[in-house]
Chains A and B, each alone.
Chain A
């Protein structure tokens, strides 16, 4: 239950005044609740499906989550507590209204797919009671009439509630949050005991527990077919960047502008270590147990996984976790789209957004490839965070104008727009290097080397491109600003 002492005014186009600032506890509650979502029940199992080892998952998550918290503390909150503006207003001052509209569109589309994955998670719970074929680990297309009906009903209900108003769901989510966190932890306790029982392990020391972890829980080895092998680095970068849009991408400027002090960013620790450590590990144990019982059953279906562990309470948790997180996501996507079409009613736009998310939820490809999708989501929104960082800290020191769009009155700051799009293009080029190289070779264009200094050049996995991408965005924005501002000759 996060706090209820909400500021009445939302201060969307002005800095938050001192009287509206919130205490540390507000942020701890909000982060702990928000990061215990339905998708955690997919992510933990997908780690196991990716053949992760015990050391890699435990230490990788710890390091990655600490880096995520530090990103909030050192990148997001110092700007949030000094500017005290929403992300959108701050971007509008830098980028201009048209570019922010484009950013909103990208944001809204990513939200739709994310909500689709959450609907998929909730729909798997329906399958516990109605015996219809559910998607497998590598399924990409809708799986039969039962699955389609389940997704349509769940997605339809979520969309109607989101369109009707968000208030009831927000209240319900606040009530459910502490219970949900405990059910996630309970999944871990139950699965761990089941492992002890089925393996006949005797736990007398931490050493025994570690042996169980390395030999049965997170065994490492080959990933499931169609999955990338996860190492320490994959886990670390995933934990660090799965909320990249929020910290490095600066979306949480809108949250932390209400913080009294910049160190309040450390409140994100609650979300990271409850949701992105305990919940992921607990969910991963459920899936490892399923594989232990039947290695051929590689389907990641949160509904049946939770039901097997905790019975009906577990299924209720899956439904509520999916519902309470899909709902605000659809609502937010609706708001992003409404900013583009201000003449349409919020009800109609949110309903249409929900329909889009439901359509996305029909395709299990998004949920089953959630690790990659979450990285893509962060990568697409990250460059704008770099733009804000440069504009706030560097641009004036280098003799240029900050908040350029506001000062020059332009609707589209090409420096920011190109920095954003070229960074995404650069990152995608790295990810699809081999594919692009093969395609060009087929049409007799061979300028992309296959080897460099004896090393074979292959693509960079999506988990690793966003870090160099951030620096590319910084450099691009600085160089392009120099060119644009010189040409614009802002007086």
Chain B
């Protein structure tokens, strides 16, 4: 199951960057780009947590020790 979810999530990432790239080379109109990006966004956030998450994230622990991002 997990490999399938991983493939779907990778497709979601391709759906996020692919349409703008096709738009850049003049192969798609901007409204279609916006629609496809939204679909890809929803797909990514639905699938990615199940496809890629393992155990506890590291950032949670490091954050107690390091000042943050500034820009």
Interface set of A (CB-CB < 8 Å, partner B): 1-8, 10, 12, 22, 26, 30, 33-35, 37, 39-40, 43, 86-88, 107, 111, 114, 166-167, 170-171, 173-176, 178-179, 182-183, 185-186, 189-190, 192-194, 242-243, 245-246, 251-252, 254-255, 258, 276, 310-314, 316, 325, 328-329, 331-332, 335-336, 370, 374, 377-378, 381
What residue in chain B is nearest A330 (Cβ atoms)? B68
Known: A35-B69, A329-B68. A1 touches B37 (CB 8 A): no
Assess the A39–B71 pair: CB atoms within 8 A: yes
A-B contact pairs, 5 of them (CB 8 A): A166-B63, A185-B20, A190-B24, A242-B71, A243-B69
Known: A179-B13, A313-B34. A4 touches B57 (CB 8 A): yes
Assess the B68–A170 pair: CB atoms within 8 A: no
**Seed contacts A178-B13, A245-B67; 4 additional CB < 8 Å A-B pairs:** A88-B65, A310-B20, A313-B40, A328-B59
Assess the B63–A86 pair: CB atoms within 8 A: no
Interface set of B (CB-CB < 8 Å, partner A): 12-13, 16-17, 19-21, 23-24, 26, 30, 33-35, 37-38, 40-41, 44-45, 48-49, 52-71
Assess the B23–A182 pair: CB atoms within 8 A: no
What residue in chain A is nearest B66 (Cβ atoms)? A254
CB-contact partner of B49 in A26, A86, A175, A336, under 8 A:
A175
Most buried by A among B21, B57, B71: B71
Assess the A316–B24 pair: CB atoms within 8 A: no
Assess the A255–B62 pair: CB atoms within 8 A: yes
Contacts of B20 in A (CB 8 A): 185-186, 189-190, 310
Contacts of B58 in A (CB 8 A): 2-6, 22, 26, 30
Assess the B71–A37 pair: CB atoms within 8 A: yes
Known: A171-B57, A313-B38, A313-B40. A255 touches B66 (CB 8 A): yes
Taken together as a complex, chains A and B put the C-alpha atoms of A8 and B64 apart, in Å, by 13
Contacts of A3 in B (CB 8 A): 58
Most buried by B among A175, A258, A313, A378: A313
Assess the A189–B48 pair: CB atoms within 8 A: no
Taken together as a complex, chains A and B put the C-alpha atoms of A185 and B62 apart, in Å, by 28
CB-contact partner of A182 in B16, B24, B35, under 8 A:
B16
Q: How far is the CB of A123 from chain B (nearest CB, A)?
A: 18
What residue in chain B is nearest A326 (Cβ atoms)? B68
Assess the A114–B68 pair: CB atoms within 8 A: yes
Assess the B63–A6 pair: CB atoms within 8 A: no
Contacts of B23 in A (CB 8 A): 189-190, 193
Contacts of B44 in A (CB 8 A): 179
Contacts of A175 in B (CB 8 A): 45, 48-49, 52-53
Assess the B21–A183 pair: CB atoms within 8 A: no
Assess the A189–B60 pair: CB atoms within 8 A: no
Taken together as a complex, chains A and B put the C-alpha atoms of A335 and B68 apart, in Å, by 12
Assess the A183–B16 pair: CB atoms within 8 A: yes
